[in-house]
Homo-oligomer: A and B are copies of this chain.
Amino acid sequence: MVPHLVTALTGPINELEQRILESMPAIERWFRLEWMEHTPPFYTSVDIRNAGYKLAPVDTNLFPGGFNNLTPEMLPLAVQAAMAAIEKICPEAKNLLLIPEKHTRNMFYLMNVQRLIEIFGLAGLNVRLGTLDESITEPTRLQLPDGSELTLEPLLRTPRRLGLKDFDPCTILLNNDLSAGIPDVLKNLHEQYLLPPLHAGWAVRRKSQHFDSYEEVAKKFAKLLGMDPWLINPMSAQVGEVDWQEGTGLDRVQTQVDALLTKIRRKHKEYGINEKPFVVVKADNGTYGMGIMTVRDAKELEDVSRRTRNKMGVVKDGQTVSQLIIQEGVPTYERVNEAVAEPVVYMIDRYVVGGFYRVHADRGIDENLNAPGASFVPLAFSESHHLPKPGMRPGASAPNRFYMYGVIGRLAMLAASYELEATDPDAEVYE
């Protein structure tokens, strides 16, 4: 069940794995101290790429879907983490209003929603679903493949509170990333807990800010372990005011791509890595694997097809893209049955509760795997994959490998915490 890394490339990562295992008490203590100063996001999933020579988070999702892809065995762990989160944030909570994405025909997504209801229900909350879809004006039942059903209800807004008919929640949990902007119905809710906060949504959030925070975290962590932060940090640059339709700003993208490729080449030389460098150009505000292209040479940007321009210019919910992040490409050398795979780590509060491999048979090692056709292989919880097994040979133990992924996932989560502090619109009050 454990994907195999290409052997020739496992050297440095095996060293990293060993160093992380040996430093476990120092690492766990460091996290504990960080969480004394910073608040973890309510829940987080992190996509990780393992290139053998480096390991890096490439996407940190603050409204994670895909909880249905975790094994049922992870349920108790998720429930316990959910209890810890609720107890800290809103111990007096009784009713939880869950606001999912609008796509009600995506059965995979609905199964994720069902799993979230289960987790928070078992943590002891009355959970009901409210939808941002204004076309839903009365309780609407949705059938799920397993025969169960979900009921979506229209939101009921009063001047000060948000709820449903006969349901006044103390806590509102968003599983909607707000790519379409912040709806009025969610604004100015000062009496209820709104989790995650509005500025965690893609209406406000920027990848570049996240990776700036991640760089800060990676540097601290690398200092703790006495290693080069590059081994866990994808380098990146930001370019603004790009118009894909008009073609304006693409020259600046090209310059940055060229500069970043040069920096990567230098790193590869330093470590004797025999890989062709590439970068990934992404919408700074994008998600769902949309608005992403792989570039191996800056010249490729001179002649971008109309189709690519259309694809790059618009992301989820029709949001336009004018700001880009250019990121060091990290190939993934993990494979499940020959297909390219990348690990995804799930966290609730500060705890790793599970994970899976996203597998895509039709994609290359340097491509985005979050695309139609992807499948999911859960990291079997029954073998306690996120607990390390000291004493095993580096690279040979799935638990140790996944412990390392859990550490990287938590670093990205910590970066999200820094990021949300930096972008908190209410933060200046305390300055």
Contacts and interface: CB of A to CB of B under 8 A. Distances in A.
Contact of A29 (B75, B93, B351): B93
A8 interface: no
Interface stretch (A84-92, A208-216, A367-375, A419-427): A84-92
A75 B126 CA distance: 29
Nearest to A385: B76
B351 A92 contact: no
Nearest to A86: B32
Closest 3 CB pairs of A and B: A28-B124, A32-B91, A25-B126
A91 B28 contact: no
B29 A92 contact: yes
Contact of A80 (B81, B86, B381): B81
A124 B27 contact: yes
Tell me how many chains of this kind the complex includes.
Answer: 2
A388 interface: yes
A291 to B, nearest CB: 36
A35 interface: yes
A93 B83 CA distance: 24
Given A125-B25, A351-B80, A33 B73 contact: no
Secondary structure dominating the interface of A: helix
B126 A35 contact: no
A36 interface: yes
A384 B93 CA distance: 24
Contact of A382 (B27, B73, B91): B73
B386 A92 contact: no
27 contacts: A25-B94, A25-B124, A25-B125, A25-B126, A26-B94, A28-B83, A29-B93, A29-B124, A31-B124, A32-B83, A35-B87, A35-B91, A72-B384, A73-B382, A73-B384, A75-B384, A76-B77, A76-B384, A76-B386, A77-B80, A80-B80, A80-B81, A84-B84, A87-B350, A121-B390, A122-B387, A122-B388
A123 interface: yes
A79 interface: yes
A24 interface: yes
A70 to B, nearest CB: 13
Output the residue of A33, A86, A91 with the most chain B CB within 10 A: A91
Contacts of A350: 87
B387 A76 contact: yes
Contacts of A351: 80, 83
